Structure 1
Amino acid sequence: MSEPSAVHTTDAGEASGWRRSAACSGLSPAVVFARRAADAAPALRACARCPVQRQCEETVAPADTWFDGVSAGRLWRNGQPVALDGTHR
């Protein structure tokens, strides 16, 4: 079963450009769309060195789309950032 795409845009060329540069581009969708911090850890580590965090957050718009998974260095559940280590990131 295929995971949903995190990108919601009308300009597929622009979206694929930044997605190719994303540090998470080679990770399994199960990791990128994980709901638990332990499962999402590889994606969160990738975000720490990602050059396209801003484009990721703007395109995914996690707070506006009830997103579940990792976007722009944060783990999101139902569009809300998940507290990691006792703080919101």
Structure 2
Amino acid sequence: MPAPAYVRTTFQRGAYPAPARPTDWRTHAACAGLPDEAVFARRPEPALPALRACAVCSVRRRCLETVAPAESLFDGVSGGRLWRNGREVRIPADLAPERGLAVDYPDQP
């Protein structure tokens, strides 16, 4: 006696869509594709690519709130600012104008 058709049916890979996952805010960050050496730099010059990305980033505020650099003693770029041991590092004036960065950071992202 042959098996019923529903038993013989095989499922192909990709036949069903993957379950929806909430999008993580980090996927929208302008620095998402940058190397760790730029994002987690401790000095201004290596951090310039990440700082330039922050200037046009749509999730700067969320980044700053999540990382909480002052509370976590963070080293690197977060919310458009460079941090070392949880303290903001000012970008030297000689680097800022030629790189298109503002010396004084705005309070609002």
Classify the TM-score, shorter chain.
Answer: 0.7 to 0.9
Q: Deviations over 1:26-62 (max 9, x none)?
A: 0011110000110000000000000000100010000
Structure number with higher relative contact order (C-alpha < 8 Å, ≥ 6 residues apart): 1
- Which sections of structure 2, spanning at least 5 residues, go unmatched? 1-20, 94-102
Question: Match for residue 32 of structure 1?
Answer: 39
Q: CA RMSD of the aligned region, Å?
A: 1.8
Q: Which has the larger radius of gyration?
A: 2
C-alpha distance in 2, partners of 1:82/1:34? Answer: 11
Query: Percent identity among equivalent residues?
Result: 57
Q: Deviation at 1:23? A: 0.1
- Which sections of structure 1, spanning at least 5 residues, go unmatched? 1-12
Structure 2 length as normaliser, TM-score? 0.64
Pick the structure with more helix per residue.
1
Structure 1 length as normaliser, TM-score? 0.78
